[in-house]
Structure 1
């Protein structure tokens, strides 16, 4: 154990040293490509304090030692999850869904009706609001979509949010973005463990498959995607990691595939040759890329 990390000894609720923060940053970048600015120290301290309490560890230094121990590899997903923010709502950045309906999906649905294969990927799907928004859009455009070879894949690095997505139950506080007709047509009012909310219909859930995936690691998917949503995810990565990710997206997209990013994200100069801008944070695979 590095002596610089282990001195002075800290207790839960104490200050986080620069050395510990630097160690957390190195681990986060190594394991998931995350970049933690120094300004995030208070957030990191607050979130990791919860892990210390769960593990009954007295200090941040002990936590670093615990995480770096090969025998405690199971803690790494909890660390990465603690450092990322899972905030979403239905039909977030509505202009993207308007673009889906007006331009992106019509030719794909025509292909599907003729027996073709259509695949959509939500990379960083969080609690599932994005994937179910996609599913509602598809079902409203083609009520027979479940009989076509059309599927949505939702992936995330956080097991907890994936469990919420699979269950499809959303407390009333998580329904932002849904209108009355959405609730009427695609959800049923339920109570789960004493909390009132709504559950996504079986049709919505049948369109979506959820898998755990670290974008920084291996991708086991076979075949190409026609659409990738990766919104408010790359903001956690440095420029080199973003460029590698865009290259991988380009490799797994169809020749006329679409990539949608978050409102504050842009494809950097190093990856400009891979995609062509086609609207606000909407990109198409560049011809000949």
Structure 2
């Protein structure tokens, strides 16, 4: 008799039957859409479930169904809300992402902003990364402006990074990153602004030097809030590759609020995949995805 085929091993960690109910997913999607502005269509259900399984394990719950019960039937939503936001928000970021914007900042925007304020001695330029994620954009800005300051020495700068996710803000404050993430940073800037860990590890890490860390700060902000508790004389606001997750109405509201925080002559920089089409904002376009307030 021929030997029987071996039976497939039973996986104890199988997620084949571990899903949110359609009702619970819709309630989560509706809440995120209303409170955060990010749209989660049914096609995102598997992605959301995959990200939430870590929270299920952290809470000691048996499965996603129990997680949904905890949120909506056991009054767990208030305590879980920050973790839920952290889980479902997308935090794709890189150092020197869309590098032409940083070239434009150093070569044209900053010199023009200084010229507008030529009556001031060493004007303070305020730069705001309004969706800063883990801080790669913030520290890219700090590197570029520090290099420019070393050349010109006729301005000062301060950088604010905001995001809705507390977990990415914490990483921004720590300023520690996997070594492979710094590949886009030019070698001279790597040498000047990065410290390499001396401890051997499976995944080498680097940290931003304290001289740069002192020039930036991070704060939590929901772009869907009706008002933003920040200065209204900001020189440059970066809001790149975020509006694509919002619907047109929310895009317009966010842009209007941000522009209200720009000083006259200040700049709003969006991602190359985004545009101002369909908004009620009247600004002069000075470069692709770069707009100046009158």
Scaled by the length of structure 1, what TM-score is found?
Answer: 0.86
Mapped contact 1:186–1:201 kept (Cα < 8 A): yes
Q: Matched residues in 2 for 1:260 and 1:102: separation?
A: 15
TM-superposed CA distance for 1:230, in Å, is 0.8
Rounded Cα–Cα distance in structure 2 between residues aligned with 1:72 and 1:224 = 37
Cα pair 2:19 2:64 within 8 Å, conserved? no
Counterpart-to-counterpart distance in 1, 2:17 and 2:130: 34
Q: Are positions 1:84 and 2:86 aligned together?
A: no
- Structure 1 residues 45, 284: CA separation in 2 closer, same or farther (over 3 Å shift)? same
Instruction: Give the direction of change, closer, same or farther, for the CA distance of 1:202–1:145 in structure 2 (3 Å limit).
Output: farther
Question: How big is the shift at 1:257?
Answer: 1.3
Residue of structure 1 equivalent to 2:59? 55
Residue 40 (structure 2) aligns with:
36
For residues 200 and 153 of structure 2, the distance between their equivalents in structure 1, rounded to whole angstroms, comes to 31
Q: Which residue of 2 aligns with 1:242?
A: 251
Instruction: Select the residue among 81, 90, 106 that pairs with 1:101.
Output: 106
Correspondence for 1:178 among 179, 182, 185 = 185
Please say if 1:281 is aligned against 2:289: yes
Q: In the superposition, relative to structure 1, how do residues 179 and 124 fare at CA in structure 2: closer, same or farther (>3 Å)?
A: same
User: Please, which runs of 5 or more residues in structure 1 have no aligned partner?
Assistant: 1-10
Higher Cα radius of gyration:
2
The equivalent residue for 1:233 is 242
The offset of 1:100, in angstroms, is: 0.6
1:1-289 correspondence to structure 2 within 5 Å: 13-68=17-72, 72-109=77-114, 111=117, 114-143=121-150, 149-191=156-198, 194=201, 195-217=203-225, 218-271=227-280, 273-285=281-293, 287=294
Gaps (5+ residues) in structure 2? 1-14
CA displacement, residues 94-122 of structure 1 (integer Å, 9 cap, x when unaligned): 11111111211113345487242321100
1:12–1:49: 8 Å Cα contact kept in structure 2?
no
How many Å separate the matches in 2 of 1:209 and 1:281?
25
User: How far apart are 1:173 and its partner, in Å?
Assistant: 2.4
